């Protein structure tokens, strides 16, 4: 990706970050004034990278450096710094497509593997906002718009295959983060793995049940293979509620380092699966006094999210007149052809819906018994109550995988969520939900 000697890279201190920014005239002007007065704050929140906010006299920026290890694990878990190259490439590829749904991309330093982007202010991470019980009226619509635009315009539906192959050639080299996804999302929750953990002893039965359920592992394997082989579009690859920054009126998708060519339903499933985790985490939750109203709002967002994606994706398709190698316009120019194309579009999106539910389920499971868990459930201090809330999410996830025909549409999904809430800790008894 670059021909720099690894020794030129180093983990930067605050003053070195200031120097790096000051060397770039456009950044110096944006921050303004004497760089010795710039303030650097460590605001890292995710698992992987160092993140800083830098404020100057005139403005601020967000700085992200890829460390040679996983931030939350230190040097016991080495990780190639080249992930920043793929994040930079993804965000630059996507920015002209999604516009203001992503942060403004300002600079990439290929030596230090430092990304500089717009400082989002007063945005918060959506997951943190949901934990606090805050309402973000536009977030679900905006993320749906993001996925619809980004995925449609990088798919075969919008391009000649040559463009798609360019993306494939570049992003298929993003192997280190693909390995993380394959191991942590698809594989380890279903085996004995040192990195797994859960609320013991309450979820011991569930963890064992996931390891022993051959039917479930067969379905998960099918979706893992689909993930590996279905290069449907350039996907974000990690679109959970921690990858979205929001205010009441503005929404931005961040953190594209897991970018890959893959199934569109993987991005949709990440987002809706994490909405469902937020919903289950609010069981008996003291953080949100008006609990039931707030929980209903979360479920409503799942509906908004899917319906908006469905409508927007088909609208991008219908409005796209340029040639492509999937459904050449010349084959569908007649009135009958146009009617047929509308059916094809509905069928295509229906298959994305099926993928979304499966990947949502897989994402929910990994966040409860796998390595990287979500903060939503930590709000429930009583561990037995936390496990009960998580067991509901696991029971829904298992049925989404084993009995997808029970969830023929988004209404069926949100209607079902409450039925799984009180299934108890026994994974066998919960099969009756």
Give me the residues that bind Mg ion (CB under 5 A), please. 46, 255
Q: Which stretch binds ligand SR1 (CB under 6 A): 41-49, 325-333, 411-419, 424-432?
A: 41-49
> Looking at 11, 176, 372, 375, which residue binds ligand SR1 (CB under 6 A)?
372
369 counts as binding ligand SR1 under rule CB under 6 A: no
Nearer to Mg ion, 46 or 103 (CB): 46
**Is the four-CA dihedral 43, 46, 50, 55 of positive or negative sign?**
negative
Residues 181-210 that bind ligand SR1 (CB under 6 A): 184
Q: Which stretch binds ligand SR1 (CB under 6 A): 45-53, 120-128, 293-301, 352-360?
A: 45-53
> Looking at 238, 267, 310, 376, which residue binds ligand SR1 (CB under 6 A)?
238
> Looking at 32, 47, 226, 375, which residue binds ligand SR1 (CB under 6 A)?
47
**CB of 238: closest distance to ligand SR1 in angstroms?**
5
Nearer to Mg ion, 277 or 396 (CB): 277
Residues 56-85 that bind ligand SR1 (CB under 6 A): 70
Q: What tokens appear for 256 in the block?
A: 């594209």
Inter-residue contact 108 to 116 (CB < 8 Å) = yes
**CB of 378: closest distance to ligand SR1 in angstroms?**
16
180 counts as binding ligand SR1 under rule CB under 6 A: yes
**CB of 29: closest distance to ligand SR1 in angstroms?**
33
364 counts as binding ligand SR1 under rule CB under 6 A: no
Q: Which residues here bind ligand SR1, judged by CB under 6 A?
A: 46-48, 70, 180, 184, 238, 372
């Amino acid at each position: 990706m670059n021909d720099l000697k690894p020794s030129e890279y180093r983990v930067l201190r605050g003053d070195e970050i200031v120097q790096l920014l000051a060397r770039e005239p456009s950044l110096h002007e944006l921050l303004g004034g004497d760089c010795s007065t710039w303030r650097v704050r460590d605001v890292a929140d995710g698992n992987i990278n160092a993140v800083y906010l830098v404020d100057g006299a005139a403005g601020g920026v967000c700085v992200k450096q890829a460390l040679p290890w996983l931030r939350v694990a230190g040097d016991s878990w080495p990780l190639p710094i080249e992930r920043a190259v793929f994040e930079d490439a993804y965000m630059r590829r996507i920015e002209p497509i999604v516009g203001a749904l992503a942060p403004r991309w300002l600079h990439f330093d290929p030596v230090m593997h430092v990304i500089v982007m717009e400082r989002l202010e007063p945005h918060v991470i959506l997951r943190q906002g949901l934990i606090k019980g805050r309402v973000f009226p536009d977030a679900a619509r905006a993320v749906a718009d993001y996925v619809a635009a980004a995925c449609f315009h990088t798919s075969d539906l919008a391009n000649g295959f040559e463009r798609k192959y360019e993306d494939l050639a570049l992003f298929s080299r993003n192997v280190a983060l693909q390995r993380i996804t394959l191991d942590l999302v698809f594989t380890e929750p279903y085996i004995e793995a040192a990195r797994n953990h859960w609320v013991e002893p309450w979820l011991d039965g569930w963890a064992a049940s996931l390891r022993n359920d051959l039917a479930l592992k067969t379905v998960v394997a099918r979706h893992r293979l689909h993930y590996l082989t279905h290069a449907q579009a350039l996907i974000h690859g990690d679109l959970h509620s921690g990858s979205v920054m929001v205010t009441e009126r503005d929404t931005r998708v961040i953190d594209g380092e897991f970018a890959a060519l893959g199934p569109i339903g993987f991005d949709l499933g990440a987002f809706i699966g994490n909405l469902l985790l937020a919903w289950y985490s609010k069981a008996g939750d003291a953080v949100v006094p008006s609990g039931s109203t707030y929980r209903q709002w979360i479920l409503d967002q799942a509906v908004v999210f899917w319906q908006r994606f469905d409508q927007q994706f088909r609208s991008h398709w219908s409005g796209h007149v340029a040639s492509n190698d999937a459904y050449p316009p010349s084959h569908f120019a007649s009135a009958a052809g146009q009617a047929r194309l509308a059916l094809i579009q509905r069928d295509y999106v229906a298959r994305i819906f099926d993928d979304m539910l499966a990947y949502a389920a897989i994402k929910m499971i990994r966040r409860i018994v796998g390595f990287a868990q979500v903060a939503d459930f930590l709000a429930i201090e009583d561990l037995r109550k936390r496990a009960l809330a998580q067991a509901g999410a696991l029971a829904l996830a298992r049925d989404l995988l084993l009995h997808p025909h029970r969830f023929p549409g988004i209404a069926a999904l949100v209607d079902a969520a409450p039925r799984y809430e009180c299934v108890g800790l026994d994974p066998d008894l919960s099969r009756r939900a």
